[in-house]
Chains A and B, each alone.
Chain A
């Protein structure tokens, strides 16, 4: 086992609010009677719709075809009949075409044993094809098609491959649950990526709260005769961020270009499913938690399931929910409709209860410097926000505004409750506007 060589600066330590009981495992969510599957669940352009109302679809059938390099395939998550294809609002506020499927017919694969395919004999191109075909995207948050990260030009090899098991957000523990239940399969996914990237070094980075899994992973490494280090990183937010994981592993300063590849463990599991089980990405594990949820848990959810159904499955809302958030508490999007569907990028759902989550009145900046200490990117958020507010976004840009990843640490730490992230985002928008 290796320990981090150099801890990144900054970050915050929100009080542990993991309400999901440890070791409670992953429960399969009920199959929705109706799934609303958006065709934009990835970084690039909306996938091209391949179905029309009235079509019968099978589970895992391709319904959206990748359009452009950063786009990804979209598959049906339930068997049934396409009811309609219409524009639907995403949590981000964008409109995008979505396919509504009404459950019906046979489950082709679910509940039946899947045959494992031999993959070692496959060519590099075939492997990448299967990953691309399966619509695999980064499940850690970026939703960038995974094959892009794995497609290095022949001859060149990556210096470092990291399996990122450090939870990206506080309160979420779906990655941890996956590591506990699917360690072996995840490692197989890592082997596939090793075969593609031929990295000089491979590391599995675990969060502090998964530390007890280290012996298990070391056993798996020996069993599969892999060359992999297991590292434990502090469970401080946002140390699960790609660049910070690399920094902690002594790779290079955050923000710089590197030939290292970081893949979330859930993504590796999806790679395994796509390549070995021939199962496209149409479901994922996510955490449903928050003080307003009666029975918080980790659920394996088919894309297109509505958030309302999932909350109901977790016992419903026990108390008045002040706010419901898609994603984590630090970067998630606050939503106003329970009809929104779960997509590839949904890592969790949090229903905050009580006044803690309500809007607080903003006070003037007292220059306490908390935001500077919290910023993992060495920025001066208070100064940047003041510059943006007086319309000096260009100056803010010179002082590193573009390095801001909107991780939320500054706004979390601010005792004056200044919405620093929102202000900085506004500044970036202003910059884009002036460029155009």
Chain B
């Protein structure tokens, strides 16, 4: 018996309030897992664009970590363990073109950590997603360097290297753009996809689709697997979705915001996208728009960032719709990239408003007390 009493004596040091059990997962673990799930897409980007991509990522991540250290260590805090600085650096780098000069990812990461995040008090207090803030900052400051695209490994280069989305934008701006779908517009404008694309599509079209009387347009393969120029980590939608599926299945991100975001955007692109190409209503070719640009990365990895999205699932659905609408307008009528980063930043601003609205039922409080 003295045995047990002794042990309890030692247990005295751990007196603490109820509850005495808790969920296994932790905020830090969740953040690290999000970074981990970006790895396949990042790996694909490094494979496609080679050393320049690695340099961009090294500078974005390195600067983010250093900036986090510089802004917390003097106050006696060490916050790298929560993984959020690394994740911010990761997303900043993955949204950059591989050819961006090193100072651009470095400055974007530094802005993200120092201005967007730490100046508001660090993790959990920033009202804007740091990575998205940093990327928008870079877009506004260095639009030239932010379009230093590098041709993907095995791609066909003819003239300047541009991602399909930018090429489509340029083609539509020029007079006489024609084509039933975005890919057809690109083909007609002389955009060259890779040889691999034509070989693969040729085989599929002749062996599988010919008997069915249809055919895939050139570029379908390249756009689907991400064998195109673009942001380092944004090109491969399938690999991003693989990571997102893991996060969703483990409950690390909730489906509400991404699904409503992508759904709203896809719907709008399908309904109105055809107007720009002269095809009229309901002829938008949403597949192209869903797969190109940074929509998948933004919708599944940046927009659901809990810190800057609403607290309730109802609110997340609302913000998802708002983001879908914003991205649609910014992409089809705006001039700032593909519209994803900018709309997420704008959507972040609306999160507190949405919270306030969805809480009213819960808290039963009156107007003016939020």
Contact = CB atoms under 8 A, between A and B. Distances in A.
Given A330-B21, A334-B16, A350-B20, A400 B362 contact: yes
A68 interface: no
B14 A359 contact: yes
Residue with the greatest number of chain A CB neighbours at <10 A, chosen from B10, B308, B309, B362: B362
Given A317-B7, A378-B362, A416-B26, A365 B20 contact: no
Contacts of A317: 3-4, 7-8
B212 interface: no
Contact of A364 (B9, B17, B123, B365): B123
A390 to B, nearest CB: 12
Interface string A302-346: 000000100110001100111111010111111111100000000
B18 interface: yes
A332 B306 contact: no
A382 B124 CA distance: 12
A416 B23 CA distance: 10
A360 B22 contact: yes
Contacts of A174: none
A330 B18 contact: yes
B12 interface: yes
Contacts of A395: 369
Interface string A218-230: 0000000000000
B14 A368 contact: no
Interface stretch (A136-144, A160-168, A189-197, A417-425): A417-425
B77 to A, nearest CB: 10
A358 to B, nearest CB: 6
Interface string A242-269: 0000000000000000000000000000
A321 B9 CA distance: 10
Contacts of A378: 361-362
B21 A357 contact: yes
B119 interface: no
B9 to A, nearest CB: 8
Contact of A308 (B1, B10, B312, B365): B1
Given A308-B8, A312-B1, A380-B362, A358 B26 contact: no
B4 A360 contact: no
Contacts of B311: 367, 369, 372, 380, 382-383
Nearest to A171: B21
B312 A338 contact: no
Contacts of A325: 18, 20
Q: How large is the interface on B (under 10, 10 to 19, 20 to 34, 35 or more residues)?
A: 35 or more
Contacts of A360: 22, 26
A116 interface: no
A384 B308 CA distance: 18
Given A321-B7, A338-B5, A398-B369, A365 B124 contact: yes
B14 A322 contact: yes
B11 A322 contact: yes
Contact of A408 (B19, B306, B312): B19
B335 interface: no
Contacts of A416: 26-27, 124
A358 B18 contact: no
A316 B21 contact: no
B347 to A, nearest CB: 14
B214 interface: no
Nearest to B124: A364
B18 A332 contact: yes
A411 interface: yes
A352 interface: yes
Contacts of B30: 366, 368, 415
Interface in B62-93: 82
A411 B18 CA distance: 8
Contacts of A369: 306, 310-313
Contact of A323 (B4, B14, B364, B365): B14
Contacts of B312: 369, 372
Residue with the greatest number of chain A CB neighbours at <10 A, chosen from B16, B20, B123, B362: B20
A326 to B, nearest CB: 10
Contacts of B313: 369, 373
Contacts of B82: 363-364
Nearest to A410: B19
Interface of B: 1, 3-5, 7-12, 14-23, 25-30, 82, 122-125, 306-313, 359, 361-365, 369
Given A359-B14, A411-B18, A412-B23, 20 more contacts: A324-B8, A325-B20, A330-B20, A334-B15, A334-B17, A335-B15, A336-B11, A337-B8, A357-B14, A364-B125, A367-B307, A367-B309, A369-B306, A380-B362, A395-B369, A400-B364, A408-B18, A412-B22, A415-B27, A416-B27
5 contacts: A308-B1, A365-B124, A366-B27, A399-B364, A400-B362
Query: Which 5 residue pairs are nearest across A and B when measured between Cβ atoms?
Result: A336-B12, A364-B124, A408-B19, A399-B363, A422-B17
